[in-house]
Chains A and B, each alone.
Chain A
Amino acid sequence: MKQLNYIKLEFPARSVNEGFARAAAAAFAAQMDPTMEELGDVKTAVSEAVTNAIVHAYPDTVGTVQMRLRLLDGNTLEIMVRDRGRGIPDVKKAMEPMFSTGGEERSGMGFTIMGSFMDSLRVRSAVDRGTTVTMSKRIRAKGS
């Protein structure tokens, strides 16, 4: 699909940046004229992916998180969130609802929410090399 516009962001894996990442994604998506619901879906999916990179990827260090948003042909928004952290040993298992290595303050629902709020979700990960989450969603033109 043809790329019409993009932004790239990089920030340290600190929780204070979660709200910023959501706001940046919402601001980029605004050019696609989304509904309030679509905007909420995008913010939620970004929050989940970025929070995972912050919470799980770097247990002992503050690494960096990269986020790329692309506007593709056909009013499709693609979101990529990447870390260079510990990676996921078993991606299929990690994506199952309620699976979590995060203890009581996590619910294990992050990937499930990303999958249900976006049209597509792809997770690529290698142990000790990092994780890349790519999601896309077609934004329907308002009033059509």
Chain B
Amino acid sequence: MKVLSSYQAGKLTLFLKGELDHHEAAAALRKISRTMDDYLPRECVIDMGGLTFMDSSGIALILKISKLVGETGGRAWVENAKSQPLKVIDASGIDRIIKVTTGAEQ
């Protein structure tokens, strides 16, 4: 998978692309942690528009991002989740803790 990012006015957007599983998660988290350290964002959008597959490793990653941004008083949420990642998010119940929006195509 790939992680791209953009930053504007206190808001960091992370674009996740490809498949997010345990094999990919560690490297993705390292990259995301570095990016967060660089910007110390107040808001962090996890854009899942390019994510075609995610398992519970993605749930742990979302929670970790939320915790990291929370440490500096910010908050994180998920945007554009497609059907498979969304179903995993729903089953995990984390949408009670963190805001989740779906792709417009659904």
Contacts and interface: CB of A to CB of B under 8 A. Distances in A.
Interface of A: 15-16, 18-19, 22, 36-37, 40-41, 43-44, 47-48, 51, 54-55, 97, 104-107, 109-110, 112-113, 116-117
A110 B56 CA distance: 6
A113 B91 contact: yes
B88 A55 contact: no
A40 B25 contact: no
B101 interface: no
Interface of B: 19, 21-23, 25-26, 29, 53, 55-57, 59-61, 63-64, 83-84, 87-88, 91-93
B36 to A, nearest CB: 15
Contacts of B87: 37, 40-41, 44, 117
Nearest to A41: B87
Contacts of B21: 15, 18-19, 22, 47, 51
Nearest to B67: A104
Shortest Cβ-Cβ A-B pairs, 3 listed: A15-B23, A40-B84, A107-B59
Residue among A36, A40, A54, A112 with the highest chain B CB neighbour number at 10 A:
A40
Contacts of B59: 107, 109
Is chain A's interface secondary structure helix, strand, loop, or mixed overall? helix
Given A40-B84, A107-B60, A117-B91, 13 more contacts: A15-B22, A19-B19, A19-B23, A43-B84, A44-B88, A51-B22, A105-B25, A105-B61, A106-B60, A107-B57, A109-B59, A109-B91, A113-B56
Contacts of A40: 53, 83-84, 87
A19 B25 CA distance: 13
Contacts of B57: 51, 105-107
A36 B22 CA distance: 22
